[in-house]
Structure 1
Amino acid sequence: MNEQQKKKTSKFLSYVLRHHPELINLNLDENGWADVAELITKSKRDSYEDFTFEELDEIVQTNEKKRFAFNEDKTRIRASQGHSIDINLALIPQQPPEFLYHGTAENNIKSILENGIEKRNRQHVHLSQDKETATNVGMRHGKPIILTIKTQAMFEDGIEFYFSDNQVWLTDFVDKKYIAE
């Protein structure tokens, strides 16, 4: 599978596993896990994507953002985070570092500084451990702006944080008062 095909299949997997499993009539359990054989069969059946288990394994193992995870015996797969559908990732609340970063596009800044960072159609707000990752996130939608978030202060105020399998910090909302100047 060449890089272009891997990228195309990865985008398809994100779409199906994070947002629209009904596209291929895929069954996800309450924690977002899907049967690997069912995913492969239903993807081929409706001519959406045609990939083997080996190619799927390669995508899971080589995706630099670690968007997907297998269970221990690789019979089930799920998206690591970023869902717009209601699932329970069974994440355990954790204490974040003093600061985390949020990458966004310049055209979102006015709204964020007025209203805070909202999860919108996602289950969580995503925060990065470093500015480089936040910059890459922000670049997807225009000129990137990196915001420093006072996460220790949030935590001390009782706000919960989770750390996903693919190294992304998650929370429900970032009030504007926690955005560093």
Structure 2
Amino acid sequence: MDRTRLSKRMSRALRHDPGRVGLVLDDAGWTSLEALCRALGVSAADVEDVVRHGSKQRYELVERRIRARYGHSLPGHVDLPPSDPPPVLFHGTGADAVATILRDGLHAGGRQYVHLSPSEATAREVGARHGRPVVLTVDARAAAADGAVFRRGNDDTWLTDDLAPRYLRPT
């Protein structure tokens, strides 16, 4: 089984459209490993391989239950514990969105959280998905001091709710 292809299928089922494959998630985004395997027509070993070796640490597998850790476009929030962010994080976007973001701030849009990166290079890669990439520097220390809650999605992804423009500046 192609790990990347299966990860994309798991992402769609666990983050965006579980009903499309007949999957039901609980309020915290969990389903049984067996239900996911049936829905996708794959083995538990295949899914476990994606969880264990996936480059983005998108999934949690605990006691034969699985969920996507972040990136959901479904209602509700996956409960990840708050964590102290590094002083500075980065957000990649397309050049066309910069003026609006600097005026209105960052908003989750169709996702549950705003996604941030500790790496400027990773943020630039994300921004390239939206046209000419622009990286915004996020003053995470000041935002956290003012009450913003940050969660660690994985080593490359930090999550938070909306951020006001005062915490953002072009890099």
Q: Return 5+ residue gaps in structure 1 as ranges.
A: 45-50
* CA displacement 1:2-55 (0-9 Å, x = unmatched): xxx3222211111110011111221211111111111111223xxxxxx22111
Q: Name 2:153's counterpart in structure 1.
A: 164
Q: Which secondary structure state, in structure 1, belongs to the residue aligned with residue 37 of structure 2?
A: helix
Aligned-pair identity in percent equals: 35
How far residue 112 of structure 1 moved from its aligned partner, in angstroms, is 1.1
Instruction: State the alpha-carbon separation in 2 of the partners of residues 70 and 165 from structure 1.
Output: 14
How far residue 129 of structure 1 moved from its aligned partner, in angstroms, is 0.9
Q: Name 1:63's counterpart in structure 2.
A: 54
How far residue 175 of structure 1 moved from its aligned partner, in angstroms, is 1.1
Question: Is the CA contact 2:104–2:165 (under 8 Å) kept in the aligned structure 1?
Answer: yes
Q: Return 5+ residue gaps in structure 2 as ranges.
A: none
Instruction: State the alpha-carbon separation in 2 of the partners of residues 39 and 166 from structure 1.
Output: 25
Q: Name 1:142's counterpart in structure 2.
A: 131
Letter in 2 for 1:40: C
Q: Aligned Cα RMSD in Å?
A: 1.6
Letter in 2 for 1:64: S
Q: Name 1:47's counterpart in structure 2.
A: none
Corresponding position: 1:82 with 2:79: no
Q: Under a length normalisation based on structure 2, what TM-score does the superposition of the two structures give?
A: 0.91
Q: Following TM superposition, where does structure 1 have runs of at least 4 consecutive aligned residues deviating by more than 4 angstroms?
A: none
* CA displacement 1:48-82 (0-9 Å, x = unmatched): xxx221111111122111111211x3x11111101
* CA displacement 1:128-163 (0-9 Å, x = unmatched): 111122122222222221110011111111121112
Instruction: State the alpha-carbon separation in 1 of the partners of residues 84 and 148 from structure 2.
Output: 10
Judged with a 3 Å threshold, the aligned counterparts in structure 2 of structure 1 residues 84 and 148 are, in CA distance, closer, same or farther, namely same
Corresponding position: 1:18 with 2:9: no
Question: Is the CA contact 1:67–1:166 (under 8 Å) kept in the aligned structure 2?
Answer: no
Q: Name 2:38's counterpart in structure 1.
A: 41
Q: Name 2:83's counterpart in structure 1.
A: 94
Moved more, 128-137 or 146-155: 128-137
Question: Is the CA contact 1:97–1:152 (under 8 Å) kept in the aligned structure 2?
Answer: yes
Question: Is the CA contact 1:80–1:166 (under 8 Å) kept in the aligned structure 2?
Answer: no
Corresponding position: 1:105 with 2:120: no
Q: Name 1:48's counterpart in structure 2.
A: none
Judged with a 3 Å threshold, the aligned counterparts in structure 2 of structure 1 residues 88 and 126 are, in CA distance, closer, same or farther, namely same
Structure 2 residue aligned with 1:53, among 44, 56, 77?
Answer: 44
Q: Which secondary structure state, in structure 2, belongs to the residue aligned with residue 173 of structure 1?
A: coil
How far residue 167 of structure 1 moved from its aligned partner, in angstroms, is 4.7
Q: Which secondary structure state, in structure 2, belongs to the residue aligned with residue 28 of structure 1?
A: coil
Q: Number of residue pairs matched?
A: 170
Q: Which secondary structure state, in structure 1, belongs to the residue aligned with residue 169 of structure 2?
A: coil
How far residue 165 of structure 1 moved from its aligned partner, in angstroms, is 4.3
